[in-house]
A = this chain, B = another copy of it.
Amino acid sequence: MTTDINLEEIKSPADIRTMTDAQLKQLAKELRQTLITKLSKHGGHVGPNLGMVDAIIALHYVFNTPEDKVVFDVSHQTYPHKMLTGRMDAFTQEAHYDDVTGYTNPSESPYDLFSLGHTSSAVALAAGMAKARDLKGEKHNVIAVIGDGSLSGGIAFEGLDYGATLGSNFIVIVNDNDMSIAENHGGIYADLRLLRNSKGEAEPNLFRSMGYAYRYVHNGNDIPSLIEAFRSVKDINYPVVVHINTEKGMGLPVAEAHKEQFHYSGPFDPKTGEATYSSDAEDYSDIFALETLRRIEEDKRVVAITAGTPGVLGFTPEKRRQAGRQFVDVGIAEQAAVDVASGLAKGGARPVVGLASTFLQRAFDQFSQDIALNRQPATFVVFYGGLYGLTDETHLGFFDISLLANIPGLEVLVPTCKEEFVDMLRWATLHSTVPTVVRAPSGAVVSRKDVRLLSDYTAARYDIVRHGSRVALIGAGTFFPLMSEAADELAKQGVDATLINPRQLSTLDKETLDTLGDYDIVITAEDGIVEGGFGQKVASYLGQAPVKVVNLGLPKAFLNRYNPRLVAEQCNLTVPQIVALATDNLR
């Protein structure tokens, strides 16, 4: 029987390199227990971390980190790595849970090489580090760790393709748990299955075909097997893939049984798996899924598309089954999602792609060339954009307006409420003849019973919701209700402001703007960075008019784990600040 390990005494990987096999096994057990406790109380990436405990122990046991360099793809599986590299307190002590981010972060530790949160980049990043090593005549190992789900991203393939040409030490560990966030989709997964089923013996072999030596570890949760495999490739002088077969969620029965649900979870009961936080509130993903499913049932040409994140679209496994072949998951491959939509539209179907704001930027070229230049009437719905979206520096949703609204011919609609979201989505999916983006507002779902809907949103005119004078408040999307409240407050102070819902951010409504030229002040607010955004177009258009223009929105900065309320205040995005801005600028 092995004695318990005192996790608090593990300050660096050196502390585990003298352990026996039995101690390492005990270490894995305790890391898992600690992780389950933290995750159940705090939430986080459950399955990815539980599945990788053993491999991360073996990695730090065999390799001389941090001199040997390990780049973890997405880095959402690095909680055990953080525990072994000087950050144990953030997992054992509840008061310190938030001392670490959910991803590798160089500001936390020299063992963390990059701040990463988007998939599939680790191989290319590691290949660059290997090349730097070779140019400088250094000798350490360079290792990329990438999951099977992440392999579907094009940049993973590009990185593998280049890495194979290095002609020097380059180790790619493929963590294959036969799952992406949801189930895998793509031709390569049949090959991975074949390799698992044949214990690595079968041909064809994707990795060999890309120029890699290949080694397979059938039990990727068995530390001795992993140590042996890693030792066999340590200091190797050519590119090699070590394909390890792991169990996602290992050690927590509910996570092993419900892999998609426990890829990421809020706080939960570790016995039953039930959420211990309230998640009853309707969100725009739910609304999207319901609306789209109805349309799918009515029209065989309607197809919903995801790039490996069906949950973002509200498409639960049950809803995916209902949609059948009218739901497409292209894998974590945003470029393909956009191009497949272009092909579908060209072929006469009605594709609607759901994307998280932070990930849509991975397909900019496809939006520009294959959708906008080719004028394909596909619909793109953006979730998690803006101030009340995701708050990690790697997952910000601030940048999509300045990206998409500057592409010629792409219609960017910004609904202000549920009713408008549903109406714009309906129009875009069924009737639009131009490529259309519908950006879900961020934050809680808002209802505006009196919103004025349109029969056609192509280059829609701005909606003048309230006709006033001297002060105009233009509130786009999420921030329309804020501007509406400010207008109410101004009215109380005797200032009769004009209140505008611009509806879309891609085409200036010059006729409406021309009526504001002799106002005292125009204030715009948008739920994205000010730079390159909507408000600056208004400021430029009115640049020769006497009216003052103030553009409100979010800062051009990689905020990290920010507090939305504080950021709103810093950006003058509160009712009293907007009211003061208006009244201070009255002539």
B164 near A187: Cβ-Cβ < 8 Å: yes
CA gap between A405 and B117 in the complex, in Å: 22
A303–chain B nearest beta-carbon distance, Å? 7
Q: Is A539 an interface residue (CB 8 A)?
A: yes
Q: Is A361 at the interface (CB under 8 A from chain B)?
A: yes
* Of A364-372, A442-450, A455-463, the one with at least 4 CB within 8 A of chain B: A364-372
Q: Which of A161, A333, A403 has the most CB of B within 10 A?
A: A161
Q: Is A500 an interface residue (CB 8 A)?
A: no
9-residue interface stretch from A225-233, A255-263, A278-286, A551-559: A551-559
Q: Take A162-B333, A211-B191, A539-B539 as given contacts and tell me if A115 and B374 are in contact as well, using a CB distance cutoff of 8 Å.
A: yes
> Is A399 a contact of B406 with CB atoms below 8 Å?
yes
Bound-complex Cα distance A339 to B153 (A): 14
Copies in the complex: 2
Residue of chain B at shortest CB distance from A402 = B406
Q: Is A246 an interface residue (CB 8 A)?
A: no
Number of contacting residues on A, CB 8 A?
119
Q: Which A residues between 431 and 457 are near B, CB-CB below 8 angstroms?
A: none
A346 lies within 8 A of chain B by Cβ? yes
A530 within 8 A of B: yes
Shortest C-beta distance, A180 to chain B (Å), equals: 12
Asked if A343 and B540 make an inter-chain contact with CB atoms under 8 angstroms apart, the answer reads no
Closest Cβ neighbor of A341 among chain B residues: B128
- Digitize A33-59: 1 where CB-to-B-CB distance is under 8 Å, 0 elsewhere: 000000000000000000000000000
Q: A211-B188, A373-B394 are in contact. Are A556 and B408 (CB under 8 A)?
A: yes
Q: Name A's B-contacting residues (CB within 8 A).
A: 69, 71, 106, 113-118, 121, 124-136, 152-165, 185-188, 190-191, 203-206, 208-212, 239, 300-301, 303, 325-326, 328, 330-331, 333, 335-336, 339-349, 351, 359, 361-362, 364-366, 368-370, 372-374, 393-394, 399, 402-403, 405-409, 529-533, 535-537, 539-540, 542-544, 548-551, 556-558, 585
Q: Which 8 A-B pairs have the closest CB atoms?
A: A154-B154, A128-B343, A164-B187, A132-B347, A187-B211, A124-B339, A158-B336, A204-B209
